[in-house]
Amino acid sequence: MRKIIASLTFAALALGTLSANADIVVIVNPKNPAASLTADQVSALYLGNASTFPEGGAALLADQPESAGIRNDFYQKATGRSASQVKATWARITFTGKGTPPKELKSDADVKAFVASDPKAIGYIDSSAVDGSVKVALKL
């Protein structure tokens, strides 16, 4: 019995470690002049506090679907707020005409394709999905 509990504990620990290791990366188009972005800069964009990259170019934001676990993890790590808090913030911004919310796409692959096709785009995906079509601007 003790053995089973021990191995269950180990399994739980391993799972916990695994999910913590699933890095989220913020990606931009390879043509984006920014070599990297800080967490504050990404947070400002995704909370509607900034609408341009530090170099001044307009930013086009991509989001993951609400059902995807990565969405809540991203907002927690990048902005310190939950995805639902951020959604209420964007509702206020949208209906007072102060900005346009991030465009919701279906998957890592869709976000990557969107960012690869537009020099203004920015998105976030699981680090395992990164390839040469996009540039990693920040690891969360």
Binding residues (CB under 8 A) for other proteins: these are 38, 40, 44, 49-52, 56, 58, 66-67, 80-82, 84-85, 87-89, 91-92, 94-98, 100
Closest alpha carbon to 54 in 135, 137, 134, 113: 137
Identity of the residue, 94 or 133, whose beta carbon is nearer to other proteins in the bound complex: 94
Least separation in angstroms between CB 28 and other proteins: 17
Closest alpha carbon to 61 in 81, 82, 75: 75
Where helices occur in 63-133 by DSSP H, the ranges are 69-79, 83-95, 108-117
Least separation in angstroms between CB 134 and other proteins: 22
Least separation in angstroms between CB 6 and other proteins: 31
Least separation in angstroms between CB 3 and other proteins: 35
Identity of the residue, 95 or 132, whose beta carbon is nearer to other proteins in the bound complex: 95
- The C-alpha torsion from 78 through 129 and 120 to 47, rounded to 10°, is -20
Helix (H, G, I), strand (E, B) or coil at 86: helix
Identity of the residue, 19 or 100, whose beta carbon is nearer to other proteins in the bound complex: 100
Identity of the residue, 7 or 52, whose beta carbon is nearer to other proteins in the bound complex: 52
CA distance 109 to 27: 12
CA distance 35 to 55: 10
Identity of the residue, 75 or 124, whose beta carbon is nearer to other proteins in the bound complex: 75
Least separation in angstroms between CB 96 and other proteins: 5
